[in-house]
Amino acid sequence: MLLLFLLVSVQLSIPAAKTNHKNEKLNFNATYGWHDWTVNPDFNKIGNTPGAYWAARAWKWYLPTGPDDEGGPNDEAYFYKSGSDYRLYVKAATIDSSNVIHCAGATQGWVWDHDPPGNLTKDDIFQPTPLRITSAIGQLKSRTYLIDYNHYFLGTWGVLSNVWFKVYHVYDGYSGVFFDGVLGIDFYYDSGGQAIHDGSFRYGGTTMIYTKMPNPGAGWTTFDILQALIEAQQAAASNFLYFDISNCWLYQVEVLVEKGVPCWTTADYSYFRVYYFETGSLTGLQVSFHTSDSKNLKQTFVDIRKANNITYSIYKLDEKIATEGGFYKLKINVLNEEEVVIIDSIRLLAVETDSNNVTEIPVYLAFNQHAMKYINDLIVKNDGKLFKLTSEGYLELWFDSSKIPYENYQLYLLTAANII
């Protein structure tokens, strides 16, 4: 069946926000409570359009470059009515080579800069408001009802959903470059013949993919997207790729089937919802410094998430920091008095404006004001040596500006830390 696209202009009502919370210190507004990110999760008919707000489509995925062609003649994706319910039917069938995966599914949102494969444009796909995953996002989940599925087992096959994030300010510590990328997280309901496994992390160019394979089968399933995103950050760091979860923006979600090497996979879905809980408050560090054009102290905020392990933040220092005796000097303290920040390492990244090449500037001096002693050995690198920062004191950090080999550059602060 030819690629199908269903679009409607009728707006759906989304539950009203519960309570507005405002953090005066950060000039930050958040809406407390649960919120839907997807629209029309049960694929209802609105106006004359079943599956309104969803694009039923088929496409090919070329490893490792990404979606680049519409589906083959035997791939299908469409909505249909069964009793009083609406359902999504998808079929992926292929005779292509092993490096081509056929996909069929329903999409909401679009993360890529280019148009979708086939006869759609980016503007044809309904785009929910992109969601930035700051520390105020306390939960992010998906809920699916997979009615049934079938496959002819020869080669790889999968029944899955995925979420796609734009990720800004990714640092490739191996190649020494900076880039903006895309991160996809695949959640498998069932699969076979896969060369990947639960927890697999793959990347090529500026595209990263993390895989979860709990394989619960048909029925109702809830996936913890936020926990998977934290795991993806850890897996990326193991490959010397560092990104900040608060620099991740949710742009696109899909339910689908996939098939690689000959034959087919089919599935019927009747529900797919992505939703999140907003706590109304941020967690992190306050960073202070003097700028070159003012004697006033500039204060800014580095978002750090409460998690069960060390996470990474990459903060762009928009202001031009003044030097003192050839050193950049930063003051760091906890934002909220009740919090304790566990710091593994802090580094300054100098990114050349034209090439995006990166030079790491390690801490030259780190002074613990509360204990009145230097702690350089605790926060210079990721070595498991941890420093506990409380509201009782602050850190003074000195970075040697002479170590920067560029004339034009942008500074970023890379922090490996956790909050308890």
Residues 178 and 112 both lie in one domain: yes
Please identify, among 278, 307, 323, the residue that sits at the C-terminal boundary of a domain.
278
What digits encode the pLDDT tens for the residues 140-189?
999 999 999 999 877 789 999 999 999 999 999 999 999 999 999 999 99
CATH classification of the domain holding 222:
2.60.120
Tell me which residue range forms the domain holding 373.
284-419
What digits encode the pLDDT tens for the residues 168-179?
999 999 999 999
Calpha distance 95→336 (Å, rounded): 58
What are 367's strand-pairing partners?
374, 396
Please identify, among 278, 302, 333, the residue that sits at the C-terminal boundary of a domain.
278
Count CB atoms within 10 A of the CB of residue 197.
8
Residues 145 and 113 both lie in one domain: yes
Residues 348 and 213 both lie in one domain: no
Task: Tell me the average pLDDT across 271-275.
Answer: 98
Model pLDDT, residue 149: 97
Q: How confident is the model at residue 303 (pLDDT cuts 50, 70, 90)?
A: very high
Residue 151 inside a domain? The answer is: yes
Model pLDDT, residue 378: 77
Question: Phi and psi for 230 in degrees, rounded to 5?
Answer: -65, -45
Q: Which of 64, 83, 71 is nearest to 256 (CA)?
A: 71
Calpha distance 240→218 (Å, rounded): 37
Of the chain, the percentage scoring pLDDT greater than 70 comes to: 91
Q: How confident is the model at residue 96 (pLDDT cuts 50, 70, 90)?
A: low
Model pLDDT, residue 352: 97
pLDDT at 57 over 60: yes
Please identify, among 278, 299, 316, the residue that sits at the C-terminal boundary of a domain.
278
Residue 144 inside a domain? The answer is: yes
Average pLDDT, the chain: 88
